[in-house]
Amino acid sequence: MIVGLSILVSAGAVIGSAALSAYVPIELANPRAATQIDQKALIKYQAERKVAEAKAKAEADTKAKSAKQIVSNHGTPGAKNNNRLVTYSVAVKGKPSSNLSEFRVLAAETLNDPRGWPRAGVQFKEVTNGGDFTLILSEPQYLPSFSPVCSEDWSCRVGRDVIINDKRWATASEAWKQAGGDIRNYRHMVVNHEVGHFLGHMDNEQQCAGVGQPAPLMDEQSMGYGLQDGCKFNPWPLESELWTNF
């Protein structure tokens, strides 16, 4: 989930994959992150993102985070993209320790789960190669090779590459676990969140609705965003997030 105030869609309006603006970090740290480790990640990401944003040519409206701006840019939340088929292939970067077959199966289950993006009228199909995007399970050390704003600590979306950090896939994050989240739901969340960037969403485009309410999927829950406000961890898009810009 590093698509913080990502310049893209972002994890917003998708620009060309060659542009730094197309790089959408999934789990950009938040000032109120739950752990000291998250605070260090925040400082690191702020510096990296500042450099990336200086080079990017993203339009100003892609940085908008309020619900009003989202409606203006993408249409009414909840608008369905009726039965749109999105294809993807699965790949690895380096030598991830997680089981690739299990990764592939859980990713497919997540993407076509009726609680997820299919509610926005999107269906997903894995293909042998090519496809609309590539879902990559990567060793942490290779994340920065996709973009200067990608980190070894988190997952990232860059253009048509949706990169899942193998460490996060295997262990989730401290903020997520402290909020009571388990590893399976973390995996649902990170796949849905990162693919959400590909579909046109950006990080933290909505705020926690209140104590006890589910956190917006596109909140950077891995870093504690939304959770520290009293929202419950949530791996699925809210009704208000059911739109795409793909």
Judge whether residue 76 has pLDDT over 90: no
How much is the mean pLDDT over the chain?
78
Q: Is the peptide bond before 172 cis (omega within 30 degrees of 0)?
A: no
Pair of tokens at residue 118: 């299919």
Q: Percent of the chain at pLDDT above 70?
A: 67
Judge whether residue 37 has pLDDT over 80: no
Domain segments of the chain: what residues? 20-241
* pLDDT tens readout for residues 86-114: 999 999 999 999 999 999 999 999 999 99
Of residues 153 and 52, more confidently modeled: 153
* Mean pLDDT calculated for residue range 114-122: 96
pLDDT of residue 232: 95
pLDDT of residue 199: 97
Distance CA 41, CA 27 (A): 9
pTM of the model: 0.71
Distance CA 18, CA 155 (A): 19
Residue 131 pLDDT grade (very low, low, confident, very high; cuts 50, 70, 90)? very high
Distance CA 109, CA 94 (A): 24
Distance CA 158, CA 162 (A): 7
Distance CA 23, CA 186 (A): 22
pLDDT of residue 241: 97
* Mean pLDDT calculated for residue range 209-230: 93
- Reported as type and span, the H/E element at residue 162 is strand 161-165
Residue 75 CB neighbour total at 10 angstroms: 13
Q: In the chain, how long is the greatest CA-to-CA distance?
A: 43
Give the range among 27-41, 175-189, 191-205 with minimum mean pLDDT. 27-41
Query: What's the length of the chain?
Result: 246
pLDDT of residue 246: 78
CB burial class (10 A; 0-12, 13-18, 19+) of residue 152? middle
Give the range among 76-85, 180-189, 227-236 with minimum mean pLDDT. 76-85
